[in-house]
Structure 1
């Protein structure tokens, strides 16, 4: 394997560790939410989301190794910058939402919808991070097929997810 490929695999592994950190935060926040009367919505799509996001990381590595495509500096460096920006956006969302952030859709009755930070600009900024990373992470090392497949599978999932969140917020916050 080339040096650029080793570095790319290391990047994907680091993103995987970041996902583990997200899950730890999510578990903590879920416990807090349920302890405060939280109601979960959309359990049915969650396993697919986990598989898809795990598949993104695996697809990045497998395609980069199997395809043998070289690192394309013009695309790769730009994609890396986008990946880093998307990580920053994701953690901004997590920090602004605090205990209300979760990988699952859990809404605590009586809490207000967050409208500060990136949420004052966009209704679902975390999904901008998901979309950006889903395209950019594979492109760091020319894994074009992974970028396309993830994007095509993620689009309907995000439509379901956003609809679920909007319904959950409308149902629980309206009471």
Structure 2
């Protein structure tokens, strides 16, 4: 049981730390003139994460299923990938959809391969951690809900960030003095 608690406590601590970092970074982005897009979706993202984690705590501690180590290892690899993504984005990483007009979007590291790299990792986490406890139905249920929510969110994000991805036309460029 101690290992079950340790795993879930570390995941919970990681989520809390991420919220603190995201809040700090959101303030920095706002100070650079950034603004939030699609704020009506953020509550759904938070609710899904809270329900997912609370449900894991309940099911794992109620039934104490055996821990499938290969899935735990896969989850650890995902967390290392998440760390890489957060570090690559630096003060631009946040849990909200923030836009800073005129700033260049990241196109290096994981983002050079996958446009929504952080969402890829989140989708995998929500699916893989329950599998580590043998909760296949839980992984599938929350995995599908999360994918639907992420698809909805990515459409908003792509629309908001499209102007930052497009190359300026010669008429839009400012002449050098």
TM-score (norm 2): 0.87
User: Equivalent of 2:35, from 16, 36, 39?
Assistant: 39
User: Equivalent of 2:65, from 53, 56, 70?
Assistant: 70
Would the aligned equivalents of 1:30 and 1:102 in 2 still touch at CA under 8 Å? Answer: yes
User: Equivalent of 1:146, from 123, 138, 141?
Assistant: 138
| Partners of 1:111 and 1:47 in 2: CA distance | 26
Change beyond 3 A, Cα 1:133–1:38: same
- Structure 1 segments of 4 or more deviating over 6 A? none
Any gaps of 5 or more consecutive residues in structure 2?
A: 169-177
Three-state SS of the structure 1 residue aligned to 2:98 is strand
48-57 vs 135-144, greater mean Cα deviation: 135-144
Aligned to 1:26: 22
Three-state SS of the structure 2 residue aligned to 1:33 is helix
Matched, 1:129 2:124: no
Q: Superposition pairs for residues 1-175 of structure 1, below 5 Å?
A: 5-66=1-62, 68=63, 70-71=65-66, 76-171=68-163
| Partners of 1:51 and 1:142 in 2: CA distance | 23
Would the aligned equivalents of 1:49 and 1:157 in 2 still touch at CA under 8 Å? Answer: yes
| Partners of 2:16 and 2:39 in 1: CA distance | 20
Q: What is the aligned residue count?
A: 167
Any gaps of 5 or more consecutive residues in structure 1?
A: none
| Partners of 1:63 and 1:43 in 2: CA distance | 31
Give the root-mean-square deviation of aligned CA atoms: 1.7
| Partners of 2:139 and 2:150 in 1: CA distance | 16
Q: Larger radius of gyration, structure 1 or 2? A: 2
Pairwise CA distance, 1:172:
5.5
Three-state SS of the structure 2 residue aligned to 1:104 is coil
Where is the helix percentage greater, Structure 1 or Structure 2? Answer: 1
| Partners of 2:119 and 2:109 in 1: CA distance | 15
Change beyond 3 A, Cα 1:32–1:146: same
Pairwise CA distance, 1:99:
1.5
